[in-house]
């Protein structure tokens, strides 16, 4: 088994028309530089060993999957303002920082270490329709009536204090 892989994809910079890239289950620890992939819309890095988010300067990206990694901080996702789907399940995230993702429709933060969801979540993700926060130790959660497009919610907690 490969324990550490510094991913070098020959001529990746030349694939400027690439719209979909799946590097899931490749045992990588660091996201390679993808700056030249300006047309990339969907990016999958699920089931790797990524610990920090770097090299994500892809303003047109609409789908990002980082499920099953070792990520603790997602602050660097703030540049991805066109994201519609964000999958962060099975990481070590403790909070949702002050990200503003105005087009985000689906967010999966299940199986992390998040205890509190901001009461201003509806301002950060105004288009959110599907939210999965299953198996987080959340005790405080915003009022979902503030999300006019909200459809699906998945969770598993014993007691939640709702913000008003």
The tokens for 127 are 């288009």
Distance of CA 45 to CAs 20, 71, 154, 159, Å?
12, 12, 23, 33
pLDDT by residue for the chain (164 residues), tens digit each? 344 445 566 777 788 899 999 999 999 888 888 888 999 999 999 999 999 988 788 989 999 999 999 999 998 898 899 999 999 999 999 988 888 999 999 999 999 999 888 888 888 888 988 888 888 888 877 666 666 676 655 554 444 444 45
DSSP string, 93-159: -----S---TT--EEE--SS---B--TTHHHHSTT--EEE-TT----EE--GGG-TT--EEE---S-
Task: Output DSSP code: residue 42.
Answer: E
Identify the CA nearest to 106 among candidates 135, 79, 124, 84. 84
Kindly report the CATH number that applies to the domain delimited by 1-164: 3.80.10.10
Three-class DSSP category at 78: helix
CA pair distance 153, 138, nearest whole angstrom: 14
43 in Cβ contact with 65 (< 8 Å): yes
60's CB contacts (< 8 A; 6+ apart) are 38, 39, 40, 41, 82
């Amino acid at each position: 088994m490969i324990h550490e892989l510094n991913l070098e994809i020959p001529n990746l910079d030349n694939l400027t028309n690439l719209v979909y890239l799946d590097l899931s289950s490749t045992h990588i620890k660091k996201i390679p530089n993808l700056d030249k992939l300006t047309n990339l819309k969907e990016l999958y890095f699920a089931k790797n060993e990524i610990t920090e988010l770097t090299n994500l300067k892809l303003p047109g990206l609409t789908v990002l999957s980082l499920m099953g990694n070792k990520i603790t901080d997602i602050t660097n996702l703030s540049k991805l303002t066109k994201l519609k789907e964000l999958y962060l399940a099975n990481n070590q995230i403790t909070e949702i920082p002050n990200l503003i993702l105005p087009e985000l429709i689906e967010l999966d933060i299940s199986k992390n270490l998040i205890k509190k969801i901001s009461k201003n979540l509806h301002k950060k993700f105004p288009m959110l329709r599907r939210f999965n926060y299953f198996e987080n130790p959340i005790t405080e959660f915003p009022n979902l009536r503030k999300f006019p497009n909200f459809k699906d919610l998945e969770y598993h907690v014993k007691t939640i204090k709702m913000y008003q």
